Each structure stands twice: as C-alpha cells, then as structure tokens.
C-alpha cells in the first residue's frame, strides 16, 4: 500500500470528524422509537401521526413469523422499544426475563379495551402486554374455481389441489394443523406426535405452491393459487378486494386463535416513549385505522364505532362465535419448540 502524504491524513481526519459530528447531531435531534413488528400490520399514516404528535422519529423493523423474531432476539438484536409478539411468545419472553412490567398509570387508554380480551392465560393481569389485534388461522378458498366444499384440514390433501395452495411459513401453525387433523392438540409436544405430523405434511408438500407469511393474499388475488392456509386478516382482505369470489373456513378440527400484543423489552432505551406509543395505539381513532387497513379482529371496544361496517361484518375478521369454540390458543411448548423448528425446516428442505 502506498504511503499517504501528510495532507491526505488531514483530509481524512477532517472527514471522519465531520461524519461523527453529523451522526451525533442526527441521532440527538429527535427522540427515537424503535419498533419491531410484523410486516403489513401498522399503516404508515399511524406511524407518521405518532411521529408528528410527539416530535419523534419512528424506526420500523419487521419480521414475518414469531420464530424469526425470537431468533433475532436470541442472536442479540436489541434496542427495540416496542415489540408485538403473539400470545405464546409473550410467555416465553416473560419467563426469560426479557419483558418490562408495564406502568399502567401511563396507559389511561386501557379502559377502551374489551375486558374479554384481557387477563388471558399467557399474561395474567396483563403485567407485560397490551392487546393489539386478534385473529385466527384458517382456510380461504376461491369458490369460483373450487366448487367442492372445503370444511376440514383433511380436504387439503385431495389430489385435485396439487400445486394450488399457499400456506403461511410458520412451524407452529402448520405442524399444529397436521396435529389437529390427527386428533391431537395444536400444542402437542412429544417427538412421536410431531413425527406423525411430519409424515402427514410430507404428503401435502406437492400441493403447496408457495410459503408466504408476509402477503399470501397477493398470490390468491392474482389467481396463481386457489386455496390458502392464512392469517384471518389476509383472508379478509381477499374477500374485501374480490367480493363474492372467496370464502373463509375455520375447519372442523378447530384451527387456531391468537392475540398479538404490545410489549416493552427490558433492553428498551426509551420506555417512557414506548408507553406513549402503546397509549397512542389504544386511542379509538388510531385503533380503528389499524383494523380498517388490515382487517384483523380488534379488542378495542371504543374503536368499533369508527370502524368500517363492512369490516365488522367480514366473516374472516369476525367468524361466527360457534366456529371459534374449537379454535385453540398456541401455548409455550418449552424445549419442544426446537423440535417444531427442526421438523418444519426438514420438511421444507426435502
């Protein structure tokens, strides 16, 4: 390497100092909220409104599954102020001591929530979590192209559906699907049960055209597949965008029900701002924007008067109560979670 001349050292030093000063000024100009959340879950308009109202910057990082989020946190990802995990993941994180107890005096808008969605088993007394959105995992069907009724998970194995199905890329959801079909709990944890589920799913693989947890609605709306095992909000968007063409089914086996909630990790650098964000989301006008954009079930009673009536009557967003009675919550399966991940990875790699 050629030796630098003295003036070149001066130029480099000035440039480095300038970069450092610029970075310090940029980082210090506004408070920052670091949000870690699912893709396609919070409208940009909501983030912009919070940033403007509190004169802060919002940094929005995303994940497409609970497993991906947990893997990133386990690998050392830190600095997030608010995370929005699902029910069983809140149990996992709280057991690991990674969640900060909430200061409810800073959350006066908690009174807007439906008591039916509070004090659930994964977080008794809502010590760590505040409900955000709820939903189910079921089957959406293009009834214009598939005339034979689909009522159960077992129907997906029929040979006429080869190459016609999109599924979410989630180990717990997809292995749970096979477990329910076998008459087991969605939360079965024995190696024998998971091996049996793996054997069933292996024969389903030729029917799966795509794995997509981010936006499975896209391939359904494009007509590239006719059936989806999807989040209810994705199904609701499909039904809204092409009315009369799709139906949503919670299968005879039950399917799953879930609740995503807002939590503050212990590594948060700005827990006060995190509380402000959670309280902001609980405002009826803001909460209604979430549901109107992405059509998931809303636990905020005060927001329902501001929500699109078509959304409230969408059978994917709000399935009949009778259909929900057999849906299972996902529980923390402890060390068996690694087995779920291994089985799913092996299946996709075969």
Within 110-256, residue ranges assigned H as helices are: 171-181, 191-204, 216-221, 232-241
Return the structure tokens found at 274. Answer: 């995190």
- pLDDT beneath 70, residues of the chain: 1-28
| pLDDT value of position 7 | 36
Query: CA angle 100-106-109, nearest 5°?
Result: 110
Longest distance between any two alpha carbons in the chain, whole Å:
80
| pLDDT value of position 28 | 56
Contact 323, 137 (CB under 8 A): no
Question: Which domains occur in the chain, in start order?
Answer: 29-134+259-312 (3.40.190.10), 135-257+315-349 (3.40.190.10)
E-strand stretches of 44-85: 56-63, 82-83
> CB within 8 A of 66, min separation 6: which ones?
85, 86, 88, 89, 170, 172
Query: Residue 175, Cβ neighbours under 10 Å: how many?
Result: 24
Beta bridge partners of 262: 130
pLDDT tens across 14-44, in order?
333 333 333 333 445 889 999 999 988 999 9
Q: pTM for the whole thing?
A: 0.87
| pLDDT value of position 29 | 82
């Amino acid at each position: 390497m050629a030796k630098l001349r003295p003036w070149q050292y001066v130029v480099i030093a000035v440039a480095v100092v300038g970069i450092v000063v610029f970075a310090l000024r940029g980082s210090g100009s506004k408070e920052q909220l670091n949000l870690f959340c699912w893709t396609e879950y919070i409208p940009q308009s909501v983030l912009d409104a919070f940033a403007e109202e509190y004169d802060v910057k919002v940094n929005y990082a995303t994940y497409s599954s609970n497993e991906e989020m947990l893997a990133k946190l386990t690998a050392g990802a830190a600095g997030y102020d608010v995370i929005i995990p699902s029910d069983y993941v809140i149990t996992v994180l709280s057991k690991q001591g990674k969640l900060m107890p909430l200061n409810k005096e800073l959350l006066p808008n908690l009174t807007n929530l439906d008591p039916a969605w509070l004090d659930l088993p994964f977080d008794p007394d809502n010590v760590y979590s505040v409900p955000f959105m709820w939903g189910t995992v079921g089957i959406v069907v293009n009834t214009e192209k598939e005339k034979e009724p689909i009522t159960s998970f077992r129907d997906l194995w029929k040979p006429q559906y080869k190459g016609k199905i999109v599924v979410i890329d989630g180990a717990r959801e997809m292995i749970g699907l096979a477990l329910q079909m076998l008459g087991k709990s969605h939360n079965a944890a024995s190696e024998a049960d998971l091996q049996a589920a793996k054997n069933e799913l292996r024969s389903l693989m030729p029917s799966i055209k795509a794995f997509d947890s981010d936006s499975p609605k896209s391939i359904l709306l494009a007509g590239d597949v006719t059936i989806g095992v999807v989040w209810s909000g994705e199904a609701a968007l499909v039904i809204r965008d092409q009315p009369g063409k799709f139906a949503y089914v919670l299968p005879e086996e039950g399917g799953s029900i879930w609740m995503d909630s807002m939590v503050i990790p212990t590594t948060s650098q700005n827990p006060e701002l995190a509380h402000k964000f959670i309280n902001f989301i609980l405002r009826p006008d803001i909460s209604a924007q979430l549901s109107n954009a992405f059509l998931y079930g809303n636990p905020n009673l005060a927001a329902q008067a501001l929500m699109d009536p078509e959304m409230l009557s969408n059978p994917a967003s709000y399935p009949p109560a009778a259909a929900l009675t057999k849906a299972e919550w996902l529980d923390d399966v402890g060390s068996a979670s690694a087995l779920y991940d291994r089985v799913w990875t092996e299946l996709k790699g075969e």
